[in-house]
A and B are shown apart, each in its own frame.
Chain A
Amino acid sequence: MQVQLTRLAHARSGDKGDTANIGLIALRDEVYPILVREVTAERVKQHFKGICKGEVERFELPNLGALNFLLHESLGGGGTLSLMTDAQGKTFSTALLRMEIEITDGEAQSLEVE
């Protein structure tokens, strides 16, 4: 079944130049392997189509149950050059939480997601 990330994870995002970073954190330990499986760099690149013009890199932090994504060329030049309302990428976190991912019925049951 499809479930929206916002029910499984929380997140914080920020900037480094023209790159936005999004830290995606599992709400429960059992969710982390699902994030690793479903929220790939390719999926994130696809999700941010039209927003992220460069590559997406993904790093794993199993110790925190978190993934860190770097979205290159996403902030209209970044810093003071950017004309965007969100030149610092602060709301990329919630934009990622809009993503729908696929979980099995078993996972849905054990996570009590309906």
Chain B
Amino acid sequence: MKQKIRIAAGQGFWGDLPDAPVRQVEGGPIDYLMLDYLAEVTMSIMQKQRSRDPSAGYAKDFVPLMKRILPACVERNIRVTANAGGVNVEGCASAVVEVARELGLAGKVRIGIVTGDDIMSSIDEMLARGIELRNMDTDEPLATVRDRIQSANVYLGAGPMVEALDRGAQVVITGRATDTGLTLAPLMHEFGWAPDDWNKLSAGTIAGHIIECGAQASGGNCQYEWRSVPNLADVGFPIVEASPDGTFVITKHERTGGWVIIPSIKEQLVYEMGDPHEYITPDCVADFTTVRLEYEGRDRVRVYGIEGRPATEFYKVSISYSAGYKAVGTLVYSWPEAYDKAQASDRILRTRLQRLGLNFDQILTEFVGANATHGPLAGRPSPDLPEVQLRVGVRGEDRKAVERFTKEIAPLVLTGPPGVTGFAGGRPKVEEIVAYWPALIPKTEIVPRVEVIEA
């Protein structure tokens, strides 16, 4: 058994720095590259893409990326875990197999395919059996939005990925799997951690949490001494250097920018945190109040002491459903009295919307430059404000009403207060809202599937 495993984060979300994974592979020694592509809304976007083109529905960028790095990965035995498969894991895997063959790697690469997360086709049958899939936030039963559902996927954990690695997969492609599982799976595979070794599983999960947002652990979005973060233009993405006992060091490649310091790790630890005593994943319940941090050298923070508890009997389900329409319009008002003018303009706009008899579930006005981020905490803006952006958003079920709203923005330039510009982009775009419905499902309802194919 190896005594140190290095897992490098290559993507913090779908659309992160395109060259980051390449730099992780080329910048120094690593054993694994983990790539997190799926945010909550991503699955529904992919579902839409697939309904137009049956070969689509996964993170397309993953395929050209594999073309760039697969030869080096094979040569140096770097294995990849990625939830790039979206709603078409097989399609994604076929594209990667094709790339491997083009690169002359036929017979040299095994691809692991993890499926079983997509429960769209069994929803009605489950509802009929009394599995209500109630919304975890509002407690409403799923039946209330049944006819508007667009996708439904269970967050699978590390288990199926471990099986794929055990069976020799060089690249493991999943659909909706947890981002922490992408890091935990290699550790369970390499160190032979048992699926009920809760402290170690929690350690691997927290390691995954620290690196799953990419550079947000290594100097990006770092509030602590932000001016002093070195060379962010060349920021190094984080790497977990893990030991069999469940302790690990967070670091990054030498000669890269950013920093790995205790404050940057603390900021990432608390990011999107709920109850720190119970960070629930399919694999375990990790306790963030047990995490200990200490320096082990420059850009090296050691993490130890982590404890956790048994996993729950449930998987989390991510269901997306159509929830009406929205549009956001903006105009920019200049000095003098920019804020007063923007406010006057907003009053005129709202009067006109009211006269048109348009009904919305919500209308929101923000004044960017005055209160868009801190609201009333920002206080009343100075009368000398050089400029302010009026930003008005509407949301509702009636597409026509939202469309009508978009025609009321630009006319304010000739029919409202003076000193206004910023309408060159044309009318605001009407967007269909795909909302997210979190629910729990008994684990016994789900059968993850693992397939390993030879390129």
Contact with A along B389-406 (1 / 0, CB 8 A): 001011100000000000
Contact between B266 and A25, CB atoms less than 8 A apart: yes
A contact residues, total (Cβ < 8 Å): 42
CA distance A25 to B223 in the complex (A): 11
Contact between A83 and B394, CB atoms less than 8 A apart: yes
CA distance A42 to B40 in the complex (A): 31
List the A residue with the shortest CB-CB distance to B395.
A83
List the A residue with the shortest CB-CB distance to B433.
A80
Contact with B along A21-38 (1 / 0, CB 8 A): 101010100000000000
Contact between A80 and B436, CB atoms less than 8 A apart: yes
Interface membership of B125, Cβ < 8 A: no
Min CB distance A96 to B, Å, is 9
Q: How large is the interface on B (under 10, 10 to 19, 20 to 34, 35 or more residues)?
A: 35 or more
Min CB distance A16 to B, Å, is 6
**A to B CB contacts below 8 Å, 25 in the list:** A10-B223, A10-B263, A12-B267, A14-B271, A21-B271, A25-B263, A25-B270, A48-B377, A51-B375, A60-B289, A61-B288, A63-B305, A64-B291, A79-B41, A79-B435, A80-B323, A80-B433, A81-B435, A83-B326, A83-B362, A83-B394, A83-B395, A85-B391, A94-B373, A95-B377
Most chain A Cβ neighbours within 10 Å, of B41, B290, B373: B373
Contact between A68 and B326, CB atoms less than 8 A apart: no
Report B's interface with A, CB cutoff 8 A.
40-41, 137, 221, 223-224, 263, 266-277, 288-293, 305, 323, 326, 328, 362, 364, 366, 368, 372-377, 391, 393-395, 433-436, 438
List the B residue with the shortest CB-CB distance to A84.
B364
Contacts of B288 in A (CB 8 A): 61, 64
Contacts of A18 in B (CB 8 A): 137
Contact between B267 and A83, CB atoms less than 8 A apart: no
Contacts of A48 in B (CB 8 A): 377
Interface membership of A98, Cβ < 8 A: yes
List the B residue with the shortest CB-CB distance to A47.
B377
Contacts of B391 in A (CB 8 A): 85
- Residue from A59, A80, A84, A98 in contact with B366 in the complex, judged by beta carbons closer than 8 Å: A84
- Residue from A10, A51, A63, A83 in contact with B292 in the complex, judged by beta carbons closer than 8 Å: A63
List the B residue with the shortest CB-CB distance to A64.
B266
Min CB distance A22 to B, Å, is 8
CA distance A79 to B42 in the complex (A): 12
Report A's interface with B, CB cutoff 8 A.
10-12, 14-19, 21, 23, 25, 27, 47-51, 59-66, 68, 70, 76-77, 79-81, 83-86, 91, 93-95, 98
- Residue from B221, B263, B289, B377 in contact with A63 in the complex, judged by beta carbons closer than 8 Å: B289
A-B pairs with beta carbons under 8 A, tally: 125
List the A residue with the shortest CB-CB distance to B393.
A83
Contact between A86 and B267, CB atoms less than 8 A apart: no
CA distance A17 to B41 in the complex (A): 12
CA distance A10 to B222 in the complex (A): 9
List the B residue with the shortest CB-CB distance to A99.
B377
Contacts of A79 in B (CB 8 A): 40-41, 435-436
Contact between B364 and A76, CB atoms less than 8 A apart: yes
CA distance A64 to B368 in the complex (A): 34
List the B residue with the shortest CB-CB distance to A25.
B266
CA distance A95 to B377 in the complex (A): 7
Knowing A68-B273, A83-B328 touch, does A94 contact B374 (C-beta < 8 A)?
Answer: yes
Contact between A76 and B362, CB atoms less than 8 A apart: yes
Please classify the interface of chain A as helix (H, G, I), strand (E, B), loop, or mixed, using the class held by over half of its residues. mixed
Contact between A95 and B373, CB atoms less than 8 A apart: yes
Contact between A63 and B290, CB atoms less than 8 A apart: yes
List the A residue with the shortest CB-CB distance to B226.
A10
Contact between B438 and A17, CB atoms less than 8 A apart: yes
Min CB distance A25 to B, Å, is 5
CA distance A68 to B375 in the complex (A): 21
- Residue from B266, B267, B272, B368 in contact with A15 in the complex, judged by beta carbons closer than 8 Å: B272
Contacts of A51 in B (CB 8 A): 375-377
Contacts of A81 in B (CB 8 A): 323, 395, 433, 435
CA distance A14 to B41 in the complex (A): 16
Most chain A Cβ neighbours within 10 Å, of B273, B391, B435: B273
List the A residue with the shortest CB-CB distance to B362.
A83
CA distance A50 to B379 in the complex (A): 13
- Residue from B41, B224, B272, B276 in contact with A16 in the complex, judged by beta carbons closer than 8 Å: B272
Contacts of B291 in A (CB 8 A): 63-64
Contact between A12 and B221, CB atoms less than 8 A apart: yes
- Residue from B267, B270, B393, B394 in contact with A61 in the complex, judged by beta carbons closer than 8 Å: B270
Knowing A61-B289, A85-B373, A91-B373 touch, does A80 contact B434 (C-beta < 8 A)?
Answer: yes
Contacts of A16 in B (CB 8 A): 272, 274
CA distance A84 to B368 in the complex (A): 11
Besides A12-B270, A17-B438, A80-B41, 12 new A-B residue pairs in contact (Cβ under 8 A), listed by A number: A10-B223, A14-B271, A17-B137, A21-B271, A51-B377, A62-B289, A79-B41, A80-B323, A83-B362, A84-B364, A85-B372, A95-B374
